[in-house]
Amino acid sequence: MTETVPDLTTTTTTTSTIPGAKAFIFDMDGVLYRGATALPGVEALFNALSLRGIPFLLATNNSMATPASYVLRMAAMGVEVDESQIQTSATVTRDYLLTKIPPDARLLIVGMPPLGEQIFAGTNFQPVGDDPDEHIDAVVVGLDLDFTYARLRRASDAIRDGALYVATNADATLPHESGMQPGAGSIVAAISAAGGKTPVVVGKPETLMMMKGIEQLGVLPREAVMVGDRLDTDILSGHRAGLQTALVLTGVSQREHLAVADVLPDYVFADLPALTQAIVGHG
């Protein structure tokens, strides 16, 4: 099965290796940087895209940081991006809600302050107050480091009463300096159990982020490449949405994981310089 995946793990490719690619969507952590450290070749990658006029987006399941904060983070790595080129699971959740609930809907946010900041930005949505009898139109769940039983009860009560239930992502765990920590999916699981419903999930591996991305980029699905470091989120999401997919071996998923993967990437690259060479080859 894995023999069908083009092995592009060197930087010696000189011909087109991603035919038909007109735009790129990049995961960030594990692809462009690891923690606070830029991965080798990140500046050259975006220089190559800029010189060739190839549009791109940066996409993350993280709901705890705003696009503005990612602009600053990338600038520190020598890469200039605009807020409009950054998708977080929170910004895509906001766009989804705008199509599903009244413009003045009242929302219960289960998450850290940046989640609410992104959900309410540019909208007329209203945050609910402390009145337990206040009507709630939608419950939005992300990673909440201060999650409490009281918040669990209020969210599940609202869901049983008919509130729209949306999760920014369902990642059960997240990488941490000391290993793994509970992710938003652990909180989603608790609220789902108590509320008796499953949410609409916005983040990867679901397809809403990918579909929103290609709409913004103005390309067909097969004309875009999802570049990620995780087979179970980045690659699966791109595959489900009909994008080409490229795995870089600088993050979570490694070559040995391909043998047991449910979905294989179209391409595998050792690192960003190898990916950049492929882009130069087809540009």
pLDDT for res 42: 97
Whether 2-61+205-282 shares its CATH topology with 101-201 is answered yes
DSSP annotation string for 72-106: HHHHTTT----GGGEEEHHHHHHHHHHTTS-TT-E
The correct answer on CATH 3.40.50.1000 for the domain covering 101-201 is yes
Integer CA distances (angstroms), 142 to 89, 112, 117, 153, 171, in order: 9, 8, 13, 16, 10
Q: What is the Cα–Cα distance from 211 to 226, expressed in whole angstroms?
A: 11
* Residue pLDDT, tens place only, 3-59: 345 554 433 333 347 889 999 999 999 999 987 889 999 999 999 999 999 999 999
Question: Which residues are known catalytic residues?
Answer: 27, 29
* Residue pLDDT, tens place only, 87-97: 999 999 999 99
Percent of the chain at pLDDT > 90 equals 84
Mean pLDDT of the region 72-85: 96
pLDDT for res 5: 53
How far is the first Cα of the chain from the last one, in angstroms, to the nearest whole number?
30
Q: Where are the domains of the chain?
A: 2-61+205-282, 101-201
Per CATH, the homologous superfamily of domain 2-61+205-282 is: HAD superfamily/HAD-like (3.40.50.1000)
- Out of 15-24, 110-119, 162-171, 183-192, pick the least confident: 15-24
Q: What is the Cα–Cα distance from 58 to 38, expressed in whole angstroms?
A: 15
